[in-house]
Every structure is written in C-alpha cells, then in structure tokens.
Amino acid sequence: MKKQTIDSRPAGPKPWYDPRVRSLFFQVVAIALVFWAGWTLVENTLANMESRGISTGFGFLDETAGFGIIMSLIPYDATMTYGRTFWVGLTNTLLVSAMGIVAATILGFIIGVARLSSNWLVAKVSLVYIEVIRNIPLLLQIFFWYFAVLGALPSPRQSIDVGGTMFLNNRGLYVPEPLAQDGFGLVWGALAIAIAAVVGIRIWAKKRQLATGQIFPTFKVGVALLVLLPAIAYFAAGSPLEWEVPALRGFNFGGGITIIPELAALWVALSLYTASFIAEIVRSGILSVSKGQTEAAKALGLPNGLTLRLVVIPQAMRVIIPPLTSQYLNLAKNSSLATAIGYPDLVAVFMGTTLNQTGQAVEVVAITMAVYLTISLSISLFMNIYNRAVAIKER
C-alpha cells in the first residue's frame, strides 16, 4: 500500500483577490456596458425613424436651403445649400467666441488688478462690478443690452453721425469698409516681416536679459516695427487702399461694414459677464504669490508696474490658467444663447432653421454637439500647451 503524500506548500493567492485583476475586470465590464447601451440607443433610434418614414443620412446637406441669413462672414445667399448654412453658423459662433475671449481677458485682468489697488475708490468700484455682473443671469444681461440699450437707439433716418463716415442706429453700426487695390500685397508682406522681426527680437531680448540682466524695450520696438514697416510699404506702393463709406439708401444704409445689434449685444454681455469671473481668478492668482517676492522686488528698486509684470504675474499664471481655461470654455458654450436675440450662430441657423426645414433632427443635433465638443477640446489643448510653456521650471 502506497503512502499518500501531502503538499505542504502554501497555495498562491487567487486571481480574484489581486487588485489589478479586479480593476481590469471592472473596467472591461464598464466599457462593454457603455458600448452595449450606445448600440441599443442607435438601433432603437434607427428603427423608430424607419417606422415613421423619416429618412436618415447627410444627403440633406446638399439640398438648397432657401432662406436668408442676416449676417455671414463667408459668401451666402438663399440659393446655397444647407451645408453652407452650417459653415455660416460655425464662423459666426467662432467670431463672437473669439471676440468675447479677447475682450473678457483684457477687462478681467484689468479689474482683477484694480480689485487689489491701494486706492479705496478703485478697489470698491471693481468689487461692485464683480458682485453685480456675475450675480445677474447672463440671458437677462443679453436682453438688457439688446432691448434696453441698442433697441432704444434712433431709426436709420435719425442715425447718430460720427464724422460723416460712421453711423449708429437701432439696426447696427455702419463703418467704412477698406477695399484693397493692386499692390496691397506689398503691405501684407511688410506686416509679415515685421511680425517675424518682433518674434526674433523677443527671443533675443530674453536671452540677453538672462545673460546680462539688462532689459530691452521689446514692446516699444515691436509696436514701432508693426506700425512703421507696413506704413512705409503702404506709401511706397502708392496708397493701394480705398474706403467704401456707408450711405443712407431708402430706409436703411448700404455699403461699408455693418455690425448688427445682435452681435454687439451678445459680445458685450458675454465679455462683461465672463470678465467678472476672470477678475476674481486673477485676484486669487496674485494673492497666491508670496509677499516676500514683492518685498524683494521693492528692495531691488523695481517700480510697482515692473514688479507686477516681471515678478508677480509670471508666478501667478500657474494658478490663473486652469480656472481661466474653464471660463473660456463657458464663454464658447454660452454663445449658444445667441438664439434668444436672433444672432445667426450655429444653434440658431443650423440647429434651428435648418433642422425645422429638413426634419433631420438626429443628424443636425449630432453635428452641432460634435462641433461644440471640438471647440471645447481645442481650447483646452491650446491652454494646456500654454500652461506648460509658462510653468515655472526648476533649474
């Protein structure tokens, strides 16, 4: 009779008790559930649309739109396609978003710095602005600027005349339009050279300052180059630029460039509203910098302006940029409120009129969502790249 041997070696841990295995398992299950839910949603949507006789696909983009749009940055008329209306709405959305980001950033930084001013009146006025503007709903501010301010302007026949070349009324602001003539390409070339020279001088001045400590007046020299070089090229080419001045024709003005009140109201409201949040972000970023940095700068004899620009702001940017990115994203998404006052942005033109006329709700909504997602991700990408570029690097 053989003697039975017993293995006394300890059994290894079961895979289920390994945290890495459990984590991988639950992730796979979660991804599978998401794909299953998405597939079920798409399948049910297509089945319901087919049962109701609703066609699917993007062929409608090649059909004639048949409606006009009050403002377009690209050529458009009612004989063009629904695909063209998409590009019109997209460019209008990008325009007001870009204008709002620039204006809100400048105004927000100014108010944020003023909020910390030693002047009692300046600091309190900035505080009142922030608390009032950011606590009133954005939609109400848009209505205020559109109906109460711009809507109260005189009619075209009683327009406010500014120097005989610009006219302001309840239908918009009319300004002269520059028309480039033959030879204006020389001016563009000079401007490109000036921009390249400014970038080169900026890089050289930074290296020089790190090596010697001497500050080069980059800003003044850059402004001079950007103004003088194109001006010299302009006169050398024989002033190849004409101006089309708007004129009253019947019941409205014709010619020139028209800034419609819908654009002006939306831009002002978005800029003022977002600037109130940016101001608080800037204030908190400045306060995050140690007071010892400011005291050291003063001990070296730096004036307040240089201390703020060269010492405080560069260190505060690491705190400012992340929440600033969120405000940029909010501004771009808040621009969709344009449909409330009739500004022809992507939501009003494409997801509004185009959807109503074609009935392609799924396709139109999907495209619109994808566009706003792309805009948001692009802003985040750019700001993350900028954040890494200005981050404080240890030596």
CB neighbours of residue 179 within 10 Å? 11
Domain membership flag for residue 354: yes
Domain membership flag for residue 218: no
Domain membership flag for residue 29: no
Give the type of residue at 374: T
| pLDDT of amino acid 89 | 94
Positive or negative: CA dihedral 327, 328, 333, 334? positive
Domain membership flag for residue 110: yes
Domain membership flag for residue 369: yes
Edge-first strand order for the sheet with 160-162 is: 160-162, 166-169, 172-175, 257-259
CATH of the domain at 362: 1.10.3720.10
* pLDDT tens over the chain, length 395 residues: 455 555 555 555 567 677 888 788 889 999 999 989 988 887 787 777 667 766 777 888 889 998 999 899 999 999 999 999 999 999 999 999 999 999 999 999 999 999 988 899 999 999 999 999 999 999 999 999 999 999 899 988 888 888 888 899 998 889 998 888 888 889 999 999 999 999 999 999 988 888 887 888 888 999 999 999 999 999 988 888 888 888 888 788 888 888 899 999 999 999 999 999 999 999 999 888 888 888 888 888 878 778 888 888 888 888 899 999 999 999 999 999 999 999 999 999 999 999 899 888 888 998 999 999 999 999 999 999 988 887 766 55
Domain membership flag for residue 393: no
Encoded tokens for 22: 């459990």
Domain that holds residue 355: 80-133+261-388
Q: Cα(319)–Cα(353) distance, rounded to whole angstroms?
A: 42
Domain membership flag for residue 56: no
Residue 138, CA distances (Å) to 277, 330, 355 in order: 12, 11, 26
What is the tally of structural domains in the chain? 1
| pLDDT of amino acid 4 | 56
Domain membership flag for residue 364: yes
